[in-house]
Amino acid sequence: MTQPNTSYQGSKIKLYLGSTVLFVSMMLSTLIFGPLVLLCSAFPFSVRYKIAKLWVQLVLLIARIFCGVRHEVEGLEHIKDIQTAIVLSKHQSAWETIALRLILPTQTALLKQSLLRLPIWGWALATLKPIAIDRKNQRAALKTLLKQGKACLNEGIWVVVFPEGTRTAPGEVKKFNAGGAILAEKSGYPVIPVAHNSGHCWPRYSFLKYPGTITVKIGPVIDTKGRKAADINAEAAEWIAQAMKNM
């Protein structure tokens, strides 16, 4: 399903051509970078991660050149002295699942198990220490998040969680799931809230990518030591909601 951007007034031909170039480029580059990541399975995690990061840089470059999709980041000063953290991020599109790999330090993300079964891309992703869960079994999913999340955090790998659980349309607000906040409560690692408006340029479920600048806002560190998950979750959700009002 293609979700239209009703504010777009540019050339439809250019829009479709640019989106097609991006789609084809992503598919073809996956056939190159995916096997490279798999071939490096015996090498340290950092090697595989650097290769995957090169793919991210390529995708964002192509999106900028052919689709006019750019991004700007505010609040990087909030994380300059943070060694490891849990990120609770707004989720509007697939863009942030790619771009946050470039914007934030070395990380893993909470995702659904089915993604790892996708040929090449999913297999390569499986070597990058993802926290893959079965969403139909919430108890087992939380157990996996806590166990693998703590292990990654203790290795210095950031954990990215999209607490809304699914992509939301611009202006839409969904209740935050507590999984990421529970991980923060149990582990004591700080939380970094992240807001962005990617859905305006890279709409969910849409083939078309619209020109514009995506704004990413990184919030102040939320201390989690001695605090309950509900309190942590509420503070992150409130900061993100306020940040989104100015986008």
Structural domains in the chain, sorted by start: 69-245 (3.40.1130.10)
pLDDT band (50, 70, 90) for residue 4? low
Q: Is the pLDDT of residue 80 over 70?
A: yes
pTM of the model: 0.94
Per-residue model confidence (pLDDT) at position 92: 96
Per-residue model confidence (pLDDT) at position 1: 44
Mean predicted confidence (pLDDT) in 114-128 = 95
Per-residue model confidence (pLDDT) at position 2: 47
Range name among 2-16, 90-104, 147-161, 194-208 with the lowest pLDDT average = 2-16
pLDDT band (50, 70, 90) for residue 34? very high
pLDDT band (50, 70, 90) for residue 6? low
Across the chain, what does the average pLDDT equal?
95
Mean predicted confidence (pLDDT) in 5-16 = 82
Range name among 13-17, 37-41, 60-64, 165-169 with the lowest pLDDT average = 165-169
Mean predicted confidence (pLDDT) in 187-192 = 98
Mapping DSSP onto H, E and C, the string for the chain reads CCCCCCCCCCCHHHHHHHHHHHHHHHHHHHHHHHHHHHHCCCCCHHHHHHHHHHHHHHHHHHHHHHHCEEEEEECHHHCCCCCCCEEEECCCCCHHHHHHHHHCCCEEEEEEHHHHHCCCHHHHHCCCCCEEECCCCHHHHHHHHHHHHHHHHHCCCEEEECCCCCCCCCCCCCCCCCHHHHHHHHHCCCEEEEEECHHHCCCCCCCCCCCEEEEEEECCCECCCCCCHHHHHHHHHHHHHHHHHCC
